[in-house]
């Protein structure tokens, strides 16, 4: 019986045994003649020597084909390795570990004859997923979560797989307004299956997060109109005698005071009256729950609205989301509106069949009108349909 010598990633461990210590592990024979001295001293050499691999075996309780694992290791019978100092075995361990199928890989030299060695690859397979459950969720949500997490029975369990599943669960509940959902994984051995685990995902969805305030900075356009342009993102309703004024993080806002309201005779207009009452009373029929997907869409809606007003250079410089003292969400959006554009002179090129005056009349865009890209494209389409002609229009800027 020969003693195994393991290779570990980044280092080689050499175990020195005397005849007495070897006798403690030998099943029957304890004669010193049973020890291959050359094999014991293979790593004690001062100078590296080359050895040829005579045989390779894969051991361990695994479900994978041995030839496949040998192919992944890139070790082959007949390969030459340098001992000590070679990196063939370290590379083989790295390649096998990179597959994420194993929790441990070791390589042993089991025999040495002349300059030929026998190699044994010992692998410890990661446990497989037997079943998974979602705790703390509705039955209707369980089916949806199964698809969101990508979990399937008999799949090898890796840390990356668990992280992906947790992120999928959190994203699922975030879209429902539960931004602070927490997920705990409980692992249990499945006694009915070898090397298998049961995974329970315990979900604490927490309180539903609603949007408290949406603050704009850098805007000349009225914020009421900007909030309306967001479409799918709405502030929550409220009614209180003691309003809380959350200080914006990245934008500067100027509260609308009662003095301004009286000086401007705001009581004569609904808009200004709503503005002065907003900290105290606000009724919203639309849902105020926050959804990251809808917030992304709302950014585009906001810029499209600016384009319709002639601000074709408008950009969102930055935005941020933060919780207030009671756990609701505030959103700050810093804008750069840029200059306002108007339609100038319209010139037609490439039209040989119809006069410019006819095309301009069909287009029906007057010099001095606010530039609106959507209206421009719609009217160009109607013009092309009317005259069955592709034409090019170059708008100039009204100074």
| Domain parsing of the chain, residue ranges | 5-125, 128-204, 211-336, 343-397
pLDDT digits (tens, 9 = 90+) for 173-222: 988 888 889 999 999 998 888 888 999 999 999 888 889 999 999 999 99
Q: What number of other Cβ atoms are within 10 A of residue 85's Cβ?
A: 12
- pLDDT for the residue 76: 86
In this structure, whether the domain defined by 128-204 belongs to CATH 3.10.20.310 is answered with yes
Chain position carrying tokens 């997920």:
183
Residue 292's contacts (CB-CB under 8 Å, 6 or more residues apart) are 171, 174, 175
pLDDT digits (tens, 9 = 90+) for 332-382: 999 999 999 998 888 888 777 778 888 888 888 888 889 888 888 887 776
Task: Report which of 246, 206, 220 is spatially closest to residue 331, judged by C-alpha positions.
Answer: 246
Convert 38-65 into a string of H (helix), E (strand) and C (coil). HHHCCCCCCCCEEEEEEEEEEECCCCCC
User: What is the C-alpha to C-alpha distance for residues 215 and 253, in angstroms, rounded to an integer?
Assistant: 7
Fold equal for 128-204 and 211-336: yes
Question: DSSP 3-state assignment of 222?
Answer: coil
pLDDT in tens, the chain (399 residues): 444 444 333 333 332 222 222 222 223 334 344 556 677 777 777 788 888 988 888 888 777 777 888 888 888 888 888 888 778 888 888 888 888 888 888 888 888 888 888 888 888 888 889 999 999 998 889 888 988 888 888 888 888 899 999 999 999 998 888 888 999 999 999 888 888 899 999 999 988 888 999 999 999 999 999 999 999 899 998 888 888 888 899 998 888 888 988 998 888 888 889 888 888 888 887 888 888 888 999 999 999 999 999 999 999 999 999 988 888 899 999 999 999 999 888 888 877 777 888 888 888 888 888 988 888 888 777 666 655 544 444 444 443
- pLDDT for the residue 10: 34
In this structure, whether the domain defined by 5-125 belongs to CATH 3.10.20.310 is answered with yes
Q: What is the CATH number of domain 211-336?
A: 3.10.20.310
**Torsion angle of C-alpha atoms 21, 25, 27, 30, degrees rounded to 10:** -10
């Amino acid at each position: 019986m020969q003693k195994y010598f393991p290779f570990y990633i980044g280092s080689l461990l050499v175990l020195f045994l005397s005849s007495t210590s070897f006798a403690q592990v030998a099943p029957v024979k304890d004669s010193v003649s049973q020890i291959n001295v050359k094999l014991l001293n293979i790593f004690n050499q001062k100078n590296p020597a080359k050895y040829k691999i005579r045989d390779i075996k894969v051991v361990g309780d695994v479900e994978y084909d041995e030839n496949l694992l040998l192919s992944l290791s890139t070790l082959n019978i007949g390969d030459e390795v340098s001992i000590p100092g070679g990196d063939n075995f370290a590379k083989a361990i790295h390649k096998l570990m990179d597959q994420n199928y194993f929790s441990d890989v070791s390589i042993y030299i089991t025999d040495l004859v002349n300059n030929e060695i026998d190699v044994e690859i010992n692998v410890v397979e990661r446990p497989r997923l037997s079943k998974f459950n979602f705790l703390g969720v509705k039955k209707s949500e369980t089916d949806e979560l199964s698809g969101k997490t990508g979990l399937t029975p008999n799949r090898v369990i890796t840390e990356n797989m668990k992280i992906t599943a947790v992120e999928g669960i959190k994203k699922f509940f975030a879209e429902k307004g539960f931004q602070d959902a927490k997920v705990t994984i409980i692992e249990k051995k499945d006694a009915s299956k070898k090397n298998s685990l049961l995974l329970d995902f315990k979900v604490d969805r927490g309180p539903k997060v609603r949007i408290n305030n949406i603050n704009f900075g850098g805007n000349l356009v009225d914020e009421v109109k900007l909030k309306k342009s967001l479409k799918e993102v709405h502030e929550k309703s409220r009614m209180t005698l003691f309003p809380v004024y959350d200080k914006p993080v990245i934008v500067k806002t100027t509260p609308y005071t009662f003095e301004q309201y009286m000086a401007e005779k705001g009581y004569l207009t609904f808009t200004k009256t709503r503005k002065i009452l907003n900290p105290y009373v606000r009724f919203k029929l639309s849902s105020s729950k926050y959804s990251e997907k809808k917030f992304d869409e709302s950014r585009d809606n906001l810029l499209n609205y600016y384009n319709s007003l002639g601000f074709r250079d408008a950009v969102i410089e930055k935005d941020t989301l933060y919780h207030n003292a009671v756990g609701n969400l505030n959103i700050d959006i810093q804008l750069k509106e840029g200059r306002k554009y108007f339609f100038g002179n319209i010139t037609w090129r490439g039209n040989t069949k119809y006069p410019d005056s006819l095309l301009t009349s069909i287009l029906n865009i007057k010099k001095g009108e606010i530039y609106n890209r959507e209206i421009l494209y719609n009217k160009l389409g109607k013009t092309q349909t009317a005259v069955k002609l592709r034409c090019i229009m170059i708008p100039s800027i009204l100074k």
